[in-house]
Structure 1
Amino acid sequence: MLTSEEWRAHDLVGLAARATSGQVSRREILQTAIREIEARNPAVNAVVVTRFEEALDALDDAATDRFAGMPYLIKDLHAPVRGLPLANGSVRFKDTVFDFDSTTVARLRAAGFGLLGRTASPEFGLSLATESVAWGITRNPWNPDHGAGGSSGGAGAAVASGMLPAAHATDSAGSIRIPAAFNGLVGLKPTRGLNAFGPHRGDPNNGMSHEHAVTRSVRDSAAILDITAGPDAGCPYFTPRPDMPFERLIETPPERLRIGFITTRFDGGPVHRESRAAAEMTAKLLSDLGHEVTEDRPDFDSNALTEAMIRLLIGSLAGMFAGMPADNDEDLHGFEPMTRAAIRFAQGTELGTHLARAAQINAHVRQLARYFEDYDILLTPAANGPAPLHGVLPMDHSDLDAFLDKLFEISPFTAPFNASGQPAIMLPVHRTADGLPVAVQLVGRFAEDGLVLRLAAQMERASDWQTIAPA
């Protein structure tokens, strides 16, 4: 097996290259990942379900597929894996097992990935803190007193701690990007419809839910997207992928771009000094790389957009729990108090109100989109500061309004682009004096994932990002 030092020196593409060249066997790579998970998971509690023996048994030692035997973990949310429990972060569903793979999982399996288990998610992905009754607290590898973000916090902690170079993640209001930012990783939310959601989901959460990965490198994100992108049978809509593979696209730096950036919230309010510093230093780097960089804030009502989209998102729970009474706690036995509050809100929402929110979102998104008539890319801080301490988003109370206010105080920059469906990526550009990662977000026009990835790769080549926390 590889030593821990050798293991931490390679991203996913690098490991695959070593296997292809015969420097290390694919079985050794999978066995090394298992060893690293077993060694590092007790400290961070990122991996909550394992299937090590099944993954090893499924590996064909003679396989020559590029990613055969490469380790991967699937988030415990919305992604069925044949024979593997899917709890959605809930005690109530811990024993739920599906007999099929989602489209994304099927494509990863067909590419040869060794599916080693699941990473932690808060209950139904409702929080930006991965803390649940079902799985406990997931800790940040850079400082265990701080959170790993959510709802893909398990994925973020697993990759940042060095267990493996990439992991599956999902994003409905920032759930790929916030864990990437808090754990010092690359986290792309692709354009709506670029990755398929079938066969069990068609238009998830009115198009606000997205699926991809957190990775150690931009090229890993591009390589995984090349495997998973594309429509599946029966999908209600899709975004075409470019003619050239994403992994090849990023080899060529982008032409001179018009980049707008902000160092405040969208409403002009201040942000944490470290987040502001990250945006400012990134704006300088982009200017030094030859791009036209202008400080300019988009003209749209971000608070109204966020309010409408999160209420529409939570309201969609009514469909998941249709027919389930929610009159008292006994009806909702097994769910956490905040989840109960969310279900009650959903079931109490009138149909007309729910549909009106979709119309409101459209109006605000149209206003936001005008910004991208003048700029190719928007640069924002990733969040309002580095990862907070544990317990700031408790699920053990039922004040939904206070919970959402705190959630968007922490993360004011992500949700608008779930509503718009645009590609957005987090990049680990900065660290605080005590070592916590601080990131920035790049946002592109709808369907211009290739351009976003090309710019991210150009920045990566010009930087010295550290994506694994000190052991």
Structure 2
Amino acid sequence: MPNDIYGADATELAALVRAGEVSPRELAEAAIAGIEETDPVLNFMVHRRFEEALADAGGPLPDGPLRGVPTVLKDLGQNLMTGQPNYAGSAVIRDLGVIADHDSNVTRKLLDAGLVVLGRTNVPEFGPTVTTEPVAFGPTLNPWDTSRSPGGSSGGSAAAVASGSVPLGHGGDAGGSIRIPASMTGLVGLKSSRGRMSMGPDQGEEPAGFAVEGAVTRTVRDAATIVDVLAGCEPGDPYTAPTPVRPFAAEVGVTPGRLRIGVTTGLGDFETDPACALAATQAGALLAELGHDVDASTPAPMQTQRSELMPHFFGTLSAQFAATMMELEGNLGQPLDLDRFEPLTRDHIETGRRMSAADAVRSRLVLNRFTRAMATWWSDDGWDLLVTPMMPVPPFLLGSLDFDPADRERSHDRIYAATQYSVPFNVTGQPAISLPLHWTPDGLPVGVQLVAAYGREDLLVRVASQLEEAAPWAHRRPPVFAGASVS
């Protein structure tokens, strides 16, 4: 066993397995020991399949690029796994006792890559917020400061990875849900282009093409590898992203050339904490030192269309919530008691039920206009990359985003503000990555976001790996980290 088993990334662990220096079962045992040590503090696991995972690890695993590497699945999204529950962070769904009878395409591809799934991680109920504090399972804590949130909705997976328990964790991103937890826990979070991977067989797009599946990781090479693993269309998919000329993992370490990069440190209608603005400023300065042409610039629609964008984005989420409940009730053959859902979930369902078909279609029209307007900054104005803060604030305290039905407008505004830098690129479908390039004086991670034109994950990976080499972060460890009491 390597000495730093809990600090290694998935690429390194897979190489050790291939070389015969460690077995998949030994890695699974180490990961289980790490979870047993850190989860009682952080509360990131909602379902464990340890015995099944040990059996998988001891059996004939597929000879994929991540053979034998332990991982966890986010308990939300297109990641059904045969014989396993999927609670979606909800006591209502948990109590129904539903067990999946098939694998989602995402799950199948992760298993085909040779990954060993140890269980499922905590999420906010149905994922409409960026903190992981469901009533059904309790809050997940940030390993850098347990009074703070790890973000959401992939907060459980982020805590599992940041604590060293597993080298990567599955996540999904419909409004920042991979990138925001990555920022708040000192990890890498890559959101791929719309259509890069299949959401089947249960969905075509979800919702309105905002969501993609992926992972939170410790390194850029792992982030690129997961996109390679998941990429590709399946029969019945409504659309697919352009096929890359080579695997994205092959772009790690490739010189990106001299790029024109714009840096945004704030948006006029929202406040950005000075620490987060500084993170973007310093990232821009580092990129300039690396030979790129860097200037202050913001795509105009991010400044001028924000007030219109957010209500239509979140309105589309509400319509999706209402449709999901309609499907669920249809499958059950009975109505569900809305009072059993959390206030934020209930608010979205009720809002969606009040919307007309014309309201939903108009929102799509507004979002499509925003997408086309945003694209011109890259296509017509000649910029290659945009750098922004990932979050407008450093990791926030647990309870900061609690939803108050008596003050719903203010409650929604807090979520709007937290997603000001992430949501635009779920709407446009562009690839974006959060990198852990900054820490506050009191030791809290602050992520920086890089955004490329649609389909250009290759460029993101090249520049991200360039920054990773210039300002490495893999040596950093949070106070809660696996291995302190594991022999």
TM-score, normalization by structure 1? 0.95
SS in 2 for 1:179: helix
Task: Provide Cα deviations, 1:21-77, integer angstroms capped at 9, x if missing partner.
Answer: 111112111111111011111111111111011111123456554422210111010
Structure 1 residues not aligned, in runs of 5+: none
Q: Distance in 2 between matches of 1:195 and 1:169?
A: 13
Please list, as runs of the form range in 1=range in 2, the aligned pairs for 1:63-212 lying within 5 A after superposition: 63=61, 65-78=64-77, 79-94=79-94, 95-212=97-214
Q: What is the CA distance between 1:318 and its match in structure 2?
A: 1.9
Q: What is the CA distance between 1:241 and its match in structure 2?
A: 2.9
SS in 1 for 2:146: strand
Provide the residue aligned with 1:426 in structure 2: 434
Provide the residue aligned with 1:262 in structure 2: 264
Please list, as runs of the form range in 1=range in 2, the aligned pairs for 1:255-294 lying within 5 A after superposition: 255-265=257-267, 267=268, 269-294=270-295
Q: What is the CA distance between 1:396 and its match in structure 2?
A: 6.1
Provide the residue aligned with 2:392 in structure 1: 384
Q: Do structure 1's residue 335 and structure 2's residue 336 form an aligned pair?
A: no
Q: What is the CA distance between 1:399 and its match in structure 2?
A: 4.3
Q: Are the equivalent residues in 1 in contact too, given 2:7–2:164 (CA < 8 A)?
A: no
Q: What is the CA distance between 1:268 and its match in structure 2?
A: 6.0
Identify the match of residue 459 of structure 1 among 455, 462, 467: 467
Q: Are the equivalent residues in 1 in contact too, given 2:429–2:454 (CA < 8 A)?
A: yes
Deviates more, 1:53-62 or 1:93-102: 53-62
Task: Provide Cα deviations, 1:347-368, integer angstroms capped at 9, x if missing partner.
Answer: 0111111110110111122111
**Counterpart amino acid of residue 37 in structure 2:** A
Q: Are the equivalent residues in 1 in contact too, given 2:210–2:429 (CA < 8 A)?
A: yes
Q: What is the CA distance between 1:232 and its match in structure 2?
A: 1.1
Provide the residue aligned with 1:441 in structure 2: 449
Q: Are the equivalent residues in 2 in contact too, given 1:26–1:61 (CA < 8 A)?
A: no
Q: Distance in 1 between matches of 2:190 and 2:226?
A: 11
SS in 2 for 1:305: helix
Q: What is the CA distance between 1:259 and its match in structure 2?
A: 0.4
Please list, as runs of the form range in 1=range in 2, the aligned pairs for 1:332-411 lying within 5 A after superposition: 332-373=338-379, 374-395=382-403, 397=405, 399-411=407-419
Provide the residue aligned with 1:305 in structure 2: 309
Q: What is the CA distance between 1:302 and its match in structure 2?
A: 2.1
Provide the residue aligned with 2:237 in structure 1: 235
Q: Are the equivalent residues in 1 in contact too, given 2:322–2:348 (CA < 8 A)?
A: no
Question: What is the total number of aligned residue pairs between the two structures?
Answer: 465
Q: What is the CA distance between 1:320 and its match in structure 2?
A: 0.9
Q: What is the CA distance between 1:306 and its match in structure 2?
A: 2.1
Identify the match of residue 417 of structure 1 among 402, 418, 425: 425
Provide the residue aligned with 2:485 in structure 1: none
**Counterpart amino acid of residue 189 in structure 2:** G
Q: Distance in 1 between matches of 2:354 and 2:251?
A: 47
Q: Distance in 2 between matches of 1:222 and 1:205?
A: 24
Q: Are the equivalent residues in 1 in contact too, given 2:404–2:411 (CA < 8 A)?
A: no
**Counterpart amino acid of residue 93 in structure 2:** F
Q: Do structure 1's residue 22 and structure 2's residue 20 form an aligned pair?
A: yes
Q: Do structure 1's residue 469 and structure 2's residue 478 form an aligned pair?
A: yes
Q: What is the CA distance between 1:395 and its match in structure 2?
A: 4.1
Provide the residue aligned with 2:218 in structure 1: 216
Q: Distance in 2 between matches of 1:32 and 1:236?
A: 41
Q: Distance in 1 between matches of 2:163 and 2:296?
A: 35
Q: Are the equivalent residues in 1 in contact too, given 2:162–2:185 (CA < 8 A)?
A: yes
SS in 2 for 1:124: coil
Task: Provide Cα deviations, 1:382-434, integer angstroms capped at 9, x if missing partner.
Answer: 11111110101114646443222001222310000000000010000011111
Q: Are the equivalent residues in 1 in contact too, given 2:179–2:191 (CA < 8 A)?
A: yes
**Counterpart amino acid of residue 286 in structure 1:** L
**Counterpart amino acid of residue 69 in structure 1:** G
Provide the residue aligned with 1:252 in structure 2: 254
Q: Are the equivalent residues in 1 in contact too, given 2:188–2:433 (CA < 8 A)?
A: yes
**Counterpart amino acid of residue 74 in structure 1:** L
Q: What is the CA distance between 1:376 and its match in structure 2?
A: 0.6
**Counterpart amino acid of residue 46 in structure 2:** V
Q: Are the equivalent residues in 2 in contact too, given 1:169–1:213 (CA < 8 A)?
A: yes
Deviates more, 1:272-281 or 1:8-17: 8-17
Q: Distance in 2 between matches of 1:273 and 1:317?
A: 35
Q: What is the CA distance between 1:86 and its match in structure 2?
A: 0.3
Q: Are the equivalent residues in 1 in contact too, given 2:180–2:390 (CA < 8 A)?
A: yes
Deviates more, 1:51-60 or 1:206-215: 51-60
Deviates more, 1:439-448 or 1:238-247: 238-247
TM-score, normalization by structure 2? 0.92
Q: Are the equivalent residues in 2 in contact too, given 1:338–1:398 (CA < 8 A)?
A: no
**Counterpart amino acid of residue 70 in structure 2:** P
**Counterpart amino acid of residue 469 in structure 1:** P
Q: Do structure 1's residue 42 and structure 2's residue 40 form an aligned pair?
A: yes
SS in 2 for 1:313: helix
Q: Distance in 2 between matches of 1:396 and 1:131?
A: 14
- Relative distance call for 1:58 and 1:400 in structure 2 (3 A) is same
Q: What is the CA distance between 1:8 and its match in structure 2?
A: 2.7
Please give the root-mean-square deviation of Cα atoms over the aligned residues, in Å. 1.8
Q: Are the equivalent residues in 2 in contact too, given 1:81–1:98 (CA < 8 A)?
A: yes
Q: Distance in 1 between matches of 2:418 and 2:203?
A: 29
Structure 2 residues not aligned, in runs of 5+: 482-487
Q: Are the equivalent residues in 2 in contact too, given 1:336–1:396 (CA < 8 A)?
A: no
Q: Are the equivalent residues in 1 in contact too, given 2:288–2:294 (CA < 8 A)?
A: yes
